[in-house]
Amino acid sequence: MSLLNKEVEDFSVNAYHKDSFCTVEKKDILGKWSVFFFYPADFSFVCPTELEDLQNKYAEFQKIGCEIYSVSTDTHFVHKAWHDASSKIGKLSFPMLSDPSHSLSKAFEVFPENGSLAERGSFIVNPEGKIVTYEVSAGNIGRNADELLRKVQACQFVAEHGNEVCPARWTPGEKTLKPGIDLVGKI
């Protein structure tokens, strides 16, 4: 079953953000674009490279009104310890959500039935709290923040211009397509 257009369930989780602990709830994501970036575990190998890549693009996500929420099944205490111990993670300025109960991982369907860690899942959520695109990757394959940013921009464009679509590799300012009979067989 597809998660497209599924509304994010109510949630309330602990997080580590800007050198303090806080709570992030569903109400916090409404009214803006969000990326939920699930990863298997703190103190691991591929995960810090992905999170650093996201941090390097974080200002661009913020500029387009999109918040990033990294999520693992570790506690907020472990997030703080990792933040303090790793030079890559020490740079992070977006919220690190903790999901030790696996409630978020299960709601986003990235928690394996017989598992203990979340899979690598990237979810773009619109201001109404609905999933508009997502991708789940194998645990040993890192993701690309540039492509995730491009996807958020494309989702925002389509939300604003519902009668246009974004072709492969589209970036803001490039030509879009207006679906219609005149394009059938011409592309």
Catalytic residue numbers read: 47
Q: Which residues contact 13 (CB under 8 A, 6 or more apart)?
A: 23, 24, 25, 97, 98, 99, 103, 104
Answer whether 119's CB lies under 8 Å from 112's CB. Answer: yes
Which residue, among 12, 34, 33, has the nearest Cα to 24 in the 3D structure?
12
- The token pair that represents 83 in the structure block: 């933040």
Answer whether 92's CB lies under 8 Å from 104's CB. Answer: no
Token pair 């409404």 is at which residue? 30
Query: What's the full length of the chain, in residues?
Result: 187
In whole angstroms, give the CA distance from residue 88 to residue 99.
Answer: 21
Query: What is the residue type of 72?
Result: S
Of the chain, the end-to-end C-alpha distance in Å amounts to: 30
